[in-house]
């Protein structure tokens, strides 16, 4: 097998490969333990790099900013940034107001006034439209009033005028209808008028610092009409939403998160929110899907949450499932990293085993199976891995089995898979596995261990494979099984009983492979089971005994088979004459009652069989034939 070159591995680690080349590397990694180890080393190097950079205190940014502002305030000469003049229109508007809150109030009042003036001047306006506009004015004015009650921030621009009266909007308020329960803008407005208002509002939002709740309402009513102008004017929408998502109150933050969720370009907002509001973000992603394919930062954020060492294990499990449920390239790479870490955690603590099981139940099938095969070699993880592996394969065997065989080039993966196939009755999968074993024989001890651990079921499966398949590996499999059986009398008994139920063929096959002293043990169970089947399995087993050079056993067993007809015995004697001793044939003749006619008939029948190609060597046949003839024709 050709291993990955250093450069290609670097490219993979640094995420520089395009789709097909990345897929090729991943396909190789799935089957090459050596390259996986190299990759793990590279990942460990990355992890060490990240960890060695340390982590900043949670309030590091605030402390830096506080220090910056303190420095600037303490030294006024430093405080002035290099400002460029603002556009005249904005300066004019801002100059008329003191602070952002007052600006909001004035803006909304002006908007409401314009709307009402426009409505009054427009003779085509319907009463409903006028009412709607009045409603808009009321809502906006209420918001402005609320905003005006907040303390105004000091202006940073010394050129700005002093604040105007906050209640300058009162005349517009007086023209509005009496107070009513607040509704969101747009709840009862004419769509065209609402669109116009939204556009006006959106244009001005870019220049004003709106309170979070007001902005939240505006965004609720008109997310896209508001966000689109913001983007066009290069407003840092992600920073805005990040602020709302991370620092907004309980009512606003979910809204900002939802908006970020709706726009894949804002996935970084969700990523940032994952650190502060992981449960909320996870809930959102679980409900609406995660745009992981387009966001490295979100994926990395999820990976952080998914690491149970770093936070809440319950949330870690949810994050793991989210990542594992995706099958795109980046998510797959993340899942592979999670699986590697999960195996390590499972080795370290029992709680990690549950985590590994959970993750492998949700991971893409190929990644999950590869991991389970690898981890299942370890005694402590074997039962869990086996259970999950079996569930995953059984849930979709058509996809799972070819996938496994296709990916199995590594000798180390063959044994556990073979073990699984044998243990679960999927011996049909064994043929390609044996082909792999033939190419790379490996260690016989593995198969012995398989039988040792799996008992009669595994022995039965291995025996089936050894009987059905051709080739060196199947032969070696059988030999390994026989070695185990030779030392495990009880296992041999149980296996023989199971095989006897299936008939004579497999039992005979087993007996043929056993050492001579064990053949009688194996076949006896068959004869017990088939003693009344004189012409079928019983005779076949007797024949086998004779053919395998155990005529004495055969003759002893004959005594236990009263239903066997004399002619059958004679036929048996003739058929097996090459190996039966003469005395055995004579005993058979005696059991048949010494009837010459029957002997002659049996001889003719057997003679035809002999003529058909099973003729024994003349040196053995001739003396026996002479004796038989002398007995039959005295």
Partner 1 sequence: MTTIASGRRDPPPASLAGDRAAFSELVRAAHGAARSLATRLLGNADDADDALQDALLKAWHGLAGLRDPAGFRGWLLRIVYHQCLDARRRRSTRQRYELASPPTRPVEGPDRSAQRELLARVRLVMDELPPKQAAALHLRVHEQLEYSELAPILGLTPASARVYVVKARRALRARLGPDGGLS
The pair of three-digit structure tokens given for residue 59, joined into one six-digit string: 């309030």
List all residues 6 or more positions away from 27 whose beta carbon is below 8 Å from its beta carbon. 407
Q: Which CB, 83 or 612, lies closer to partner 1?
A: 83
Which of the stretches 70-78, 167-175, 427-435, 507-515 binds partner 1 when contact is defined by CB under 8 A? 70-78
In the complex, the smallest distance separating the C-beta of residue 46 from partner 1, rounded to whole angstroms, is 5
Q: Is the dihedral of CA 440, 445, 450, 456 positive or negative?
A: positive
Task: For residue 616, give both structure tokens.
Answer: 């024994």
Using the rule CB under 8 A, give the single segment among 137-145, 201-209, 375-383, 554-562 that binds partner 1: 201-209
Q: CA-CA distance, 133 to 122, in Å (whole number)?
A: 12
| 207 contacts partner 1 (rule: CB under 8 A) | yes
Question: What is the rounded radius of gyration, in angstroms, for the C-alpha atoms of the chain?
Answer: 43
Minimum CB–partner distance for residue 272 and partner 1 (Å): 7
Q: Greatest CA separation found in the chain?
A: 145
Per CB under 8 A, 95 contacts partner 1: no
Q: State in angstroms the smallest separation of the CB of 238 from partner 1.
A: 8
Can residue 395 be called a binding residue for partner 1 (CB under 8 A)?
Answer: no
Retrieve residue 171's tokens: 């005349």
The distance from CA 627 to its chain's CA centroid, rounded to whole angstroms, is 74
Under the binding rule (CB under 8 A), the answer on residue 33 touching partner 1 is no
Residue 85 binding partner 1, by CB under 8 A: yes
Q: How far is the CB of 7 from partner 1 (least distance, A)?
A: 8
76 in contact with partner 1 (CB under 8 A): yes
Question: Nearest 5°: CA angle at 311, between 307 and 315?
Answer: 75
What whole-number distance in Å separates Cα of residue 476 and Cα of residue 446?
12
Among 23, 209, 288, 312, binds partner 1 (CB under 8 A): 209
* Helices (H), ranges, 530-581: 537-547, 551-558, 566-575
Nearer to partner 1, 380 or 556 (CB): 380
Q: Please, which residue, 2 or 52, has the CB nearer to partner 1?
A: 52
Among 5, 19, 81, 634, binds partner 1 (CB under 8 A): 81
Distance from C-alpha of 178 to C-alpha of 174, rounded to nearest angstrom: 9
Query: Does the footprint of partner 1 cover residue 243 (CB under 8 A)?
Result: yes
314 is a contact residue toward partner 1 (CB under 8 A): no
- Exactly one of 33, 68, 439, 505 binds partner 1 (CB under 8 A); that residue is 68
Here the tokens at position 412 are: 């180390």
Q: Closest approach of Cβ 60 to partner 1, in Å?
A: 6
Of positions 21, 71, 378, 535, contacts partner 1 by CB under 8 A: 71
Residue 156 binds partner 1 (CB under 8 A) = yes
- Name, in order, each residue with C-beta under 8 angstroms of 90's C-beta and a sequence gap of 6 or more: 207
Residue 181 is a binding residue for partner 1 (CB under 8 A):
no
Q: Is 186 left (phi over 0), alpha (psi -120 to 50) or beta?
A: left
Q: Choose which of 8, 24, 31, 72 interacts with partner 1 (CB under 8 A).
A: 72
Considering only the stretches 54-62, 169-177, 375-383, 621-629, report the one whose residues sit in contact with partner 1 under the rule CB under 8 A. Answer: 54-62
60 binds partner 1 (CB under 8 A): yes
Q: Count interface residues toward partner 1 (CB under 8 A).
A: 59
Cα-based distances in Å from 44 to 9, 14, 258, 342, 348: 14, 13, 35, 14, 17
Q: How far is the CB of 355 from partner 1 (least distance, A)?
A: 19
Query: If binding is defined by CB under 8 A, does position 489 make contact with partner 1?
Result: no
If one asks whether residue 399 binds partner 1 (CB under 8 A), the answer comes out as no
Pick from 6, 34, 137, 19: which is nearest to 412 by CA?
34
Using alpha carbons, select from 135, 125, 127, 104 the residue that is nearest to residue 210: 104
The residue from 19, 20, 51, 250 that contacts partner 1 (CB under 8 A) is: 51
Give the integer Cα–Cα distance in Å for 339 and 326.
14
Between CA 194 and CA 105 the distance in angstroms is: 19
Residue 87 binds partner 1, judged by CB under 8 A: yes
Q: Residues in the site for partner 1, rule: CB under 8 A?
A: 10, 14, 16, 37, 40-41, 44-46, 48-54, 56, 60-62, 64-65, 67-69, 71-72, 76, 78-87, 90, 156-159, 206-207, 209, 233-236, 238-240, 242-243, 272, 296-297, 300
């Amino acid at each position: 097998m050709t291993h990955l070159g250093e450069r290609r591995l670097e490219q993979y680690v640094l995420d520089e490969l395009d789709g097909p080349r990345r897929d090729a590397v991943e396909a190789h990694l799935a089957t090459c333990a050596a390259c996986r180890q190299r990759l793990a080393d590279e990942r460990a190097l990355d992890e060490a790099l990240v960890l060695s950079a340390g982590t900043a205190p949670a309030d590091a940014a605030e402390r830096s900013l506080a220090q910056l502002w303190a420095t600037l305030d303490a030294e006024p000469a430093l405080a002035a940034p290099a400002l460029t003049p603002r556009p005249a229109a904005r300066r004019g508007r801002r100059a008329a107001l003191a602070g952002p809150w007052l600006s909001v109030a004035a803006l909304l009042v002006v908007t409401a006034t314009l709307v009402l003036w426009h409505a009054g001047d427009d003779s085509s306006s319907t009463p409903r439209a006028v009412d709607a506009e009045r409603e808009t004015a009321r809502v906006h004015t209420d918001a402005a009033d609320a905003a005006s009650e907040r303390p105004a921030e000091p202006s940073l621009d010394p050129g700005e005028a002093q604040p105007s009266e906050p209640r300058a909007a009162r005349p517009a308020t007086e023209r509005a209808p009496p107070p009513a329960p607040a509704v969101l803008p747009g709840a009862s407005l004419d769509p065209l008028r609402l669109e116009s208002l939204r556009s006006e509002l959106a244009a001005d939002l870019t220049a004003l610092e709106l309170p979070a709740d007001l902005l939240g309402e505006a965004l609720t009513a008109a997310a896209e009409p508001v966000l689109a102008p913001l983007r066009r004017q290069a407003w840092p929408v992600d920073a805005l939403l990040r602020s709302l998502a991370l620092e907004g109150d309980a009512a606003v933050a979910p809204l900002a998160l939802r908006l970020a969720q709706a726009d894949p370009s804002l996935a970084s907002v969700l990523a940032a929110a994952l650190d502060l509001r992981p449960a909320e973000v996870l809930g959102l992603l679980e409900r609406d899907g995660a745009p992981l394919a387009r966001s490295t930062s979100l994926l990395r954020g999820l990976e952080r949450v998914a690491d149970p060492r770093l936070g809440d294990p319950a949330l870690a499990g949810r994050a793991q499932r989210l990542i594992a449920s995706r099958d795109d390239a980046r998510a797959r790479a993340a899942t592979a990293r999670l699986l590697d870490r999960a195996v390590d955690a499972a080795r370290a603590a029992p709680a990690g085993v549950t985590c590994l099981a959970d993750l492998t139940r949700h991971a893409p099938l190929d990644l999950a199976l590869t991991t389970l095969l690898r981890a299942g070699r370890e005694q402590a993880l074997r039962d869990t891995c086996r259970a999950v592996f079996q569930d995953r394969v059984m849930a979709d065997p058509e996809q799972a089995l070819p996938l496994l065989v296709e990916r199995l080039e590594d000798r180390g993966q063959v044994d556990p898979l073979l073990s699984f196939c044998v243990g679960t009755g999927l011996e049909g999968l064994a043929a390609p596995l044996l082909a792999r074993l033939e190419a790379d024989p490996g260690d016989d001890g593995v198969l012995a261990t398989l039988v040792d651990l799996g008992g009669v079921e595994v022995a039965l499966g291995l025996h089936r494979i050894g009987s059905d398949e051709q080739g060196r590996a199947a032969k070696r499999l059988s030999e390994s099984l026989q070695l185990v059986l030779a030392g495990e009398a009880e296992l041999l008994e149980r296996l023989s009983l199971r095989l006897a139920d299936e008939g004579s063929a497999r039992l005979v096959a087993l007996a043929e492979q056993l050492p001579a002293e064990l053949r009688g043990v194996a076949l006896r169970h068959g004869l017990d089971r088939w003693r009344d089947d004189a012409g079928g399995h019983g005779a076949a087993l007797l024949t086998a005994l004779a053919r395998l050079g155990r005529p004495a056993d055969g003759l002893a067993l004959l005594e236990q088979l009263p239903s066997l007809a004399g002619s059958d015995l004679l036929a048996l004697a003739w058929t097996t004459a090459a190996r039966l001793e003469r005395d055995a044939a004579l005993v058979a003749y005696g059991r048949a009652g010494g009837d010459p006619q029957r002997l002659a008939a049996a001889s003719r029948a057997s003679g035809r069989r002999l003529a058909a190609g099973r003729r024994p060597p003349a040196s053995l046949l001739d003396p026996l034939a002479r004796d038989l003839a002398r007995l039959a024709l005295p």
